[in-house]
Structure 1
Amino acid sequence: MTRIKSSANKEIFHQWFNLLKTTLEENNMINQPHRIYNVDESGFPLDPRGIKVIAEKGIKNLFKAIAGSGRETITLQRCARADGVMLPPYVLYRAKNLHVKWTENGPDGARYNVSDKGWMDTDSFHDWFSKMFIPFLPPERPVILIFDGRASHLNFATVKEAIKHDVIILNLSSNSTHVLQPLDVGVYEPVKTAWEKSWHAS
């Protein structure tokens, strides 16, 4: 696992891309997009928070009653290869137990799990890594997995499995994912905008 200084500025971006280039060159992955992976997750609220309300001038307190689901946020994790191929989604609910109904009519190949807060933690990330990511990999090794590197992702079991299967883990520098994380910028941002609009329209 490789980590660089945490910041979000031109110098750090230059350092990170140099590190990426060196890693790809040293492992013969230039022009090998099927061996380059990016993973990221994002939360999708199950209530229309942030909805705009029109009211009479001077009213300080506005209230709107909405039905709760018991699962305020769904975490969705996606992984994409540099050649454009995407792994099936990994869906994480906030719950103690996974109900079968929550897994029905989803995308083909999707995997479902739960965590106490509905966020990705080391156990759920290891579940995704071992049950979805590793079986999907091509025979050519090593491969590289790029992600934001939060402590909630990695535990000893995941690092051990990465070494076993010749997976290079390359962290994005912290506080820079809004610029450097392809899935955050190119996928989640427009999808979440559409998600919010669908709530506001309902």
Structure 2
Amino acid sequence: MPRKGFPRKSDDVLDTVQKYSTENPKETPFVNNRPKAFLKRHPTLIPRNSERVTKANASIAECDIKKWFQEIRNHLTSENHLDIVQDPRRVFNADETGFQAYPTTARILAAKGDKNVYAVQQRNPTESVTVLFTFSADGITSPSLILVSRVSLSRCE
């Protein structure tokens, strides 16, 4: 589930065990430190902090990216501008990152060795700053773009 953006927290496991125990009465010697004992019995799971990713970004597949690049190549070919991709001064990459004013992360359970563990955000963060970084293929940095949260200004009367 973490690979799909829906990680399990320790509380989720405890709730599931409690529900199972309630529905299937049995003498169970539960003691303190249950999450630690559970993790000891399941060495393939480790607690991790999840990375937040929007639902839109979580649904992008490799084939979507390859299709986009093919469409760009087709367009440049049809316009007789394919030479653009041969000049590193004319090829740019941009990426944005958001900084939340009130970041929250939760410890979740993930398989050992998982590089990225995501939690899909259910709603947009209320206060954040977004920074867009742009670089050309020859290593030149363009000025960064900084976006701050929307501020409503009252009307002058």
* Fold equivalence (TM over 0.5): no
Give the structure with the higher percent strand.
2
| Greater Cα radius of gyration, structure 1 or 2 | 2
TM-score (normalizing by structure 1):
0.29
TM-score (normalizing by structure 2):
0.36
Larger relative CO (CA 8 A, sep 6+): 1 or 2? Answer: 2
